[in-house]
Structure formats: C-alpha cells, structure tokens
Structure 1
Amino acid sequence: MLTKIPIPSAVDAREIPPWVREAIQRDEHRIEAFQDQWDRPQIEQFVAADFCHVYQSLDWILETQLTIGKRFLEWGCGFAVVTALASSLQLDAIGIEAESELIRHGRETLRHWDRGGELIEGNFLPAGSESLADDPWLPSVGHAAAPAYEKLGLDLDDFAIVYSYPWPGEDDFHEAVFEASAVPGALLLMFCGPNDLRLYRRRPNR
C-alpha cells in the first residue's frame, strides 16, 4: 500500500543554487529547440517538467523524509534533467528511456552537469507490469522496448526513490506499478502538472 506524504506549498520558496538554475535554463532551451524541430510521432509524448519545482521537492525530501538509501530512478527520463538534478543532490541516479534519440540528448545533459548519473535504454516498466493497467491504450503500455532492469542488473525494489511524470490518466497506473514492485519504505515522486507534485511511500503489506 502507498501512503501519501503532503509536500508543503512553500517548497517552491526553497533556495536553488545559481549554477543549478543556470543549468536548468540551458537544458530548457535545448528542449525547446528540440521540440520546435522534431515531429516524429513516437516521441510526441515527451513533455518537460517544471525542473526547478522538482529540484526544490527533491531537496526538501532529502532534508525532511527518511530515505532507505541513495539509489534514485527516473522513469522515462527524456533529456535526463531530473536524473542530473538528483545526481547534483548526491543521489546515485539512473534514468531509463525507451527512445534512442532522447538517450543521446540525455547523455549530453549529464556531460554538461558533470555530476554523475547513468542512463539505460529500455522500458521503465518491470516485466508483467502492463497487466496492472485498466486501460490497454495508456501511453506507457505497449512499448516494444524490453524492460531495462536486466541491463542494469537491478530490480525496481533496489531503488529508494523513483520519479515519474505520468501522462494524463496514467497516475493511478504508475502508483500501481510502484506499489507492486517497489521495496517497502521507498518513495515515489510524481510530477502531474504545474504545481502538482505528489509524494508516496510504499508501506509493508499486511
């Protein structure tokens, strides 16, 4: 089961180091340029989050919430900005992305940030997770890419914090996948739109 942890509304007043803001702005410009020239339908789902808000929320989580470890996983990392943010906060960050073009841009992001991080090409859903979807047409369901966890040599329950940006209508599915496969005590941070960040902790089964 999942327990929802309220994120205080004042989290967006937390200080962001100037170099982090500059790096975020640089990557936002890269993403805008990419979206302006790219029209391949298979990556039309790629939308950038509010990276400053995500950074502030992660910083707050690390300061106020008991975490069971430092391994961080980004589902569908795109340009891997959140993976870079997590690495800058001294988490052992990994991003999974199914699109090879986005993996290339994500690796460029990590090189620019120079704070570590790792990207793996593949499906972020653990094997068998698609059966948890109420709607077989959800954007995260039906990818041809194989689950990335075998390449990693890790399972979802090896991660202390998971971040996702679910497509509209997918939030329940992402929660179900996390509940089914994450280790008790792990945290799920979901960006569900502007000013809508949600945090859950996986509780032990009774």
Structure 2
Amino acid sequence: MLQPIPIPSQVNTQPIPPSIAAKLSSMRTRIEAFQDRWDQHRAEQFVAADYELVYQTLEWINRHQTQIGSRFLEWGCGFAAVACLADELKWNAHAIEAHADLIGQARKTIRTWPANVDLFDGNFLPGGAPELSLDPTLPSLGHGGQSAYDAWGLELDDFSLVYSYPWPGEDEFHEDVFDRYAAIGALLLMFIGPNEMRLVRKVRR
C-alpha cells in the first residue's frame, strides 16, 4: 500500500543554487522555443513542470526521507530536466521517454547540462501494467517501444525514487503501477500541478 508523506508548505522557499537556477532558466527558454514551433513537431501536448519546485522537493527528500538506494527514475521524461536535477543531487539517474521529438530534446539536455543520466527511448510501464487501468484511453497506455527495464536488466523494484508528471486523471493509475511493482520503502514523487507535489512511500499492507 502507499503511505502519503506530507511535504512542508515552505519547501518552495528553500534556496536554489545559482548554477542550478541558471540551467533551469536556460531550459525554460529552450522549452518555450520548442513550444512555439508546434507546426514542426508532434509534441504539441508537452507541458513542462515547475522545475524549481521539483528541485526544492527533491532536495528536501534527500535531506529528510529515508531511501532504500540511490537509483532514480523519471517516467516520461520529456526534456529530461528532472533526471538532470536528480543527477545534481547525486542520485544514479535514469529516464525514459517514448516520444520521438522529445527524446532528441532529452539527449540535448543531458549533453549540454552536462549530466550523467541513463536515458532510454521506449516504454516506462512494466509488463502487465496496462491491465491495472480501467480507462484504455489514458495517454500512458499509448506509449510504444521496447521496455526500458528489459534493456537495462532492471525491474521497477530496483529504483529508490520514481518521479512522474501524470496527465490529468492519470495520477491514480501511476500510483497503482507503483504500488504493484515498486519495492517496499520506495518513493513516488508526482508533480500534480501548480504548487502541488505529491509524495508517497510503498509500505507493507
């Protein structure tokens, strides 16, 4: 089962190192330019998270939450900004993206950041996970490609912290997948929307 972990309301007041702030500012400029060219790619639905808030939350987790390991995974990473932030915070960062136009942007981010992120072009859902959804139209179910876990020789339960930015209505599905496949003690962090992060830990029933 999943146990909610309250995130302090003042987490967004924590200072962000100038070097990180500069990289996030550059990232936002790149994303805005990408979004302005919707006629040149097929990722018109891409929406960026509040990366400053995500960083502040990750840093708080690093200082205040018990972790079962060092592996970090970003589901549906887009530009891979969060995976790069995880690398900055000394996690062993992994990221998965299925969209052809976004995987190229993710590679560019990792190269220019620079960051040590294991990026995979494929599906972030473990085998059998789609069966947990009662809604066959959820965007996550439309991701094709090879399983990242098979390619890495890992399972979802090898990761200590998973991050996702679910589409509206998908948060419960992401939680169900995490609850089924993650290790006891692992953490799931989701960006739900403006000023809202959700953190849960898998615990024994």
Both structures adopt the same fold (TM-score exceeding 0.5): yes
Gap runs ≥5 in structure 1: none
CA offsets 1:64-96 (integer angstroms, 9 cap, x no match): 000111100000000000000000001000110
Is the deviation greater in 146-155 or in 157-166?
A: 146-155
Counterpart residue number, 1:167: 167
Aligned length in residues = 205
The structural deviation recorded for 1:41 is 7.9
Pairwise mapping of residues 35-46 of structure 1 onto structure 2 (< 5 A)? Answer: 35-39=35-39, 42-46=42-46
Structure 1: how far apart are the matches of 2:40 and 2:189? Answer: 29
The structural deviation recorded for 1:105 is 1.1
The structural deviation recorded for 1:144 is 2.6
Structure 1: how far apart are the matches of 2:40 and 2:111? Answer: 25
Counterpart amino acid of 1:21? A
2:42–2:101: 8 Å Cα contact kept in structure 1?
no
Counterpart amino acid of 1:105? Q
Instruction: Please tell me the root mean square deviation across aligned C-alpha atoms, in Å.
Output: 1.3
1:176 aligns with 2:170: no
Structure 1: how far apart are the matches of 2:11 and 2:110? Answer: 25
CA offsets 1:107-134 (integer angstroms, 9 cap, x no match): 1111222231121000100011001112
The structural deviation recorded for 1:106 is 0.8
1:131 and 1:39, CA in 2 relative to 1: closer, same or farther beyond 3 A? farther
Aligned to 1:184, what secondary structure does the other structure show? coil
Counterpart residue number, 1:11: 11
The structural deviation recorded for 1:146 is 2.9
Gap runs ≥5 in structure 2: none
The structural deviation recorded for 1:153 is 1.4
Counterpart residue number, 1:192: 192
1:125 and 1:201, CA in 2 relative to 1: closer, same or farther beyond 3 A? same
Is the deviation greater in 71-80 or in 132-141?
A: 132-141
Is the deviation greater in 33-42 or in 130-139?
A: 33-42
1:85 and 1:13, CA in 2 relative to 1: closer, same or farther beyond 3 A? same
Is the deviation greater in 98-107 or in 5-14?
A: 98-107
Question: Could you tell me the percent identity over the aligned residues?
Answer: 55
Counterpart residue number, 2:130: 130
Structure 1: how far apart are the matches of 2:137 and 2:55? Answer: 31
Please report the TM-score for the alignment, with normalisation by the length of structure 2: 0.96
Counterpart residue number, 1:26: 26
Is the deviation greater in 64-73 or in 115-124?
A: 115-124
Counterpart residue number, 2:58: 58
Please report the TM-score for the alignment, with normalisation by the length of structure 1: 0.96
